[in-house]
């Protein structure tokens, strides 16, 4: 037997208005919340960051990995003595 349970959730007026604008004529607020919170494949985010920012992020990550790698090898060298 399936029982449809409901929960009361308090949201701000602004949040309500935003959800309302996303809701289709035949959709419920539940449908909108489920649609917004479903897991999406990583590919769905491609293009969501401006290219210049993405390049800077890639550079920062590459530099951080290099620093981490250097520190890691230094620790290994100290431990192997």
Average pLDDT, the chain: 90
- Per-residue pLDDT at 1: 60
Give the distance between the most distant pair of CA atoms in the chain. 70
| Alpha-carbon span 68 to 21, nearest angstrom | 45
Q: What is the mean pLDDT of residues 62-75?
A: 96
Would you say residue 11 has pLDDT above 70? yes
Helix/strand/coil for 15: helix
Position 7 in a domain: no
Instruction: Count Cα atoms within 13 angstroms, Cβ side, for 41.
Output: 2
Position 62 in a domain: yes
For 58, the domain range is: 13-39+53-79
Position 26 in a domain: yes
Position 70 in a domain: yes
If one counts the domains in the chain, the total is 1
Residues whose CB falls within 8 Å of the CB of residue 23, separated by 6 or more in sequence, listed in order: 29, 31, 32
Position 4 in a domain: no
Position 2 in a domain: no
Look up residue 79 and give its two tokens. 């431990």
Position 73 in a domain: yes
Position 48 in a domain: no
């Amino acid at each position: 037997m399936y029982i449809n349970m409901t929960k009361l959730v308090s949201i701000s007026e602004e949040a309500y208005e935003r959800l309302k604008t996303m809701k289709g004529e035949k959709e419920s607020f539940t449908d909108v919340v489920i649609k917004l919170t479903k897991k999406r494949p990583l590919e769905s985010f491609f293009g969501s960051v401006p290219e210049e920012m993405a390049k800077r992020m890639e550079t920062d990550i590459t530099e951080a990995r290099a620093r981490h790698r250097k520190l890691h090898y230094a620790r290994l060298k100290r431990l192997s003595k």
